[in-house]
């Protein structure tokens, strides 16, 4: 959790500037790049200082399960980018989502969440939290009326991920925020796919933003991490939960993620622009049946995406003519793209959701979710668009 004792930056700075400047705290060595604080504990001047810092009467680092300067830097930088009052980092994206819920909800409380969520998030909400008395109703991401209708007296949290994976459906954050405000419940948005560079959920009324920093915030496929951005009161509750239960971010990973944020804006814009070019090319390709990309006018929620996001993002999904065999042929013909379900890397990845990320659910459930056997999901990286196109062409009959 950030202590906010640092030199103030001028106000009104742009995202790009905050990404490379926010959170900096030089030591007496006057280093230009951030120091990495590989230390598990911190020493005190005397017994009295130890006492006031342990009690929390005075702010200061005590033990790295509580705070660490490398972690604080990443938290302050991400809070600045999301336009949040505060931020708290976690060991992974799932730790962020779990801590956010465990710190704010109790047995007997109710969550409303979109159906199309990250697999482990569905597992958490659908099977683990019910054992602790927290129930979730799953509703359509694209229909705010379903959310409003699912509200109960014990509802405490609305939770969505937009755009969704892999079909890139868009949730209307402002509409969900209005429902949350009317019923005095919290709205949390998983902003993993867009990052604050392309979408600022808090500006649209969200109370909480959660991140898997493992994806675009690192952006180079190196470390796991997560974060929750919110107001100080919510972040303080999560801090107490994390300090006690321990899934905190390591100093090393925090340092890597802080550097990742420095190039986030330039990477996101480049990857999003490349994704749009590839989506347009795929849409015109005779071997492609359908393309799912929020930046294409053919996307059912193109207008909402234009309003809510400043780019379509880097995830392009598409259906290949000829069923599963044709889709697998594209994957197996690639000489360049990585066959992996990971996303948010500088290297373009390609996956067949029906047999990987969505392979363990029944064919009926898959059909209901709209995941067809001929669907492929591509997470566009930083290679040349021409090289990516040539690689896909190897398995797509002209
Ligand atoms: C990967 C991912 C997560 C989980 O993050 P981890 O860092 O792997 O724990 C949560 N939400 C979304 C949208 C993701 O893509």
Beta strands in 148-185 (DSSP E): 155-161
- Measure the CA–CA gap between 384 and 129, rounded to whole angstroms: 44
Torsion sign over Cα 264, 93, 27, 58: positive
Phi-psi region of 30 (alpha: psi -120 to 50; beta: other; left: phi over 0): left
Ligand 1 atom closest to Cα of residue 94 = 9
* Domain topology for 15-262: 3.40.640
Which CATH number is associated with domain 265-393?
Answer: 3.90.1150.10
Residue among 92, 93, 210 whose CB has most ligand 1 atoms within 8 A, to mutate: 93
Query: Are domains 15-262 and 265-393 of this chain identical in fold?
Result: no
Whether ligand 1 lies within 6 angstroms of the CB of 304 is answered as: no
212 lines ligand 1 (CB under 6 A): yes
Cβ of 218 below 6 Å from ligand 1: no
Ligand 1 centroid to Cα of residue 249, in Å, is 15
Q: How far apart are CA 313 and CA 197, in angstroms?
A: 10
End-to-end CA distance of the chain: 54
Residue 245: phi and psi, rounded to 5, are -100, -25
In tens digits, the chain (398 residues) has pLDDT values of 544 446 688 999 999 999 999 998 888 898 999 999 999 999 999 999 999 999 989 999 999 999 999 999 999 999 999 999 999 999 999 999 999 999 999 999 999 999 989 989 999 999 999 999 999 999 999 999 999 999 999 999 999 999 999 999 999 999 999 999 999 999 999 999 999 999 999 999 999 999 999 999 999 999 999 999 999 999 999 999 999 999 999 999 999 999 999 999 999 999 999 999 999 999 999 999 999 999 999 999 999 999 999 999 999 999 999 999 999 999 999 999 999 999 999 999 999 999 998 888 888 888 888 999 999 999 999 999 999 999 999 999 88
- For 122, residues 6+ apart whose C-beta sits below 8 A from its C-beta are 138
161 touches ligand 1 (CB under 6 Å) = yes
Q: In what order do the strands lie in the sheet with 349-351?
A: 288-292, 315-320, 375-379, 349-351, 338-339
Nearest CA to ligand 1 atom 11: 118
How far is the centre of ligand 1, averaged over its atoms, from the C-alpha of 190 (Å)?
Answer: 9
What backbone phi and psi angles, to 5 degrees, belong to 223?
-135, 160
* Segments making up each domain of the chain, as ranges: 15-262, 265-393
Is the CB of 163 inside a 6 Å radius of any atom of ligand 1? Answer: no
For the Cβ of 215 lying below 6 angstroms from any atom of ligand 1, the answer is yes
Task: Please name the residue whose Cα sits nearest to atom 5 of ligand 1.
Answer: 93
Give the up-direction half-sphere exposure of residue 206: CA atoms within 13 A in the CB hemisphere. Answer: 28
């Amino acid at each position: 959790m950030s202590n906010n004792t640092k030199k103030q930056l001028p106000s009104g700075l742009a995202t790009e500037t905050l990404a490379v400047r926010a959170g900096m705290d030089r030591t007496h060595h006057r280093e230009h790049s951030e120091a990495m604080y590989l230390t598990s504990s911190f020493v005190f001047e005397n017994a009295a200082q130890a006492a006031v810092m342990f009690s929390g009467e005075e702010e200061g680092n005590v033990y790295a399960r509580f705070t660490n300067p490398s972690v604080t830097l990443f938290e302050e930088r991400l809070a600045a980018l999301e336009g949040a009052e505060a931020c708290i980092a976690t060991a992974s994206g799932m730790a962020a989502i779990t801590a956010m819920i465990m710190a704010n909800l109790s047995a007997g409380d109710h969550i409303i969440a979109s159906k199309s969520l990250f697999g482990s998030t569905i597992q958490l909400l659908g099977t683990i939290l019910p054992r602790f008395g927290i129930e979730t109703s799953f509703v359509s991401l694209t229909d705010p009326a379903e959310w409003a209708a699912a509200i109960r007296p014990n509802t405490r949290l609305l939770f969505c991920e937009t755009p969704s994976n892999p079909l890139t459906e868009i949730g209307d954050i402002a509409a969900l925020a209005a429902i949350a405000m009317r019923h005095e419940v919290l709205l949390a948005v998983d902003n993993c796919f867009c990052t604050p560079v392309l979408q600022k959920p808090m500006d649209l009324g969200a109370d909480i933003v959660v991140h898997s920093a493992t994806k675009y915030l690192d952006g180079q496929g190196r470390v796991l991490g997560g974060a929750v951005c919110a107001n100080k009161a919510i972040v303080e509750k999560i801090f107490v939960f994390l300090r006690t239960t321990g899934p905190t971010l390591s100093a090393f990973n925090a340092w890597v993620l802080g550097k990742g944020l420095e190039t986030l804006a330039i990477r996101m814009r480049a990857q999003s622009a490349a994704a749009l070019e590839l989506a347009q090319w795929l849409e015109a390709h005779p071997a492609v049946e359908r393309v799912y990309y929020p930046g294409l006018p053919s996307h059912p929620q193109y207008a909402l995406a234009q309003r809510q996001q400043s780019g379509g993002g880097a995830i392009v999904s598409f259906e290949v003519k000829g069923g599963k065999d044709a889709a697998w042929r594209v994957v197996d013909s690639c000489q360049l793209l990585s066959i992996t379900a990971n996303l948010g890397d500088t290297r373009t990845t390609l996956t067949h959701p029906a047999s990987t990320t969505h392979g363990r659910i029944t064919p009926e459930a898959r059909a209901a979710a709209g995941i067809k056997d001929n669907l492929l999901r591509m997470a566009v990286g930083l290679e040349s668009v021409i090289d990516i196109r040539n690689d896909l062409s190897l398995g797509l009959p002209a």
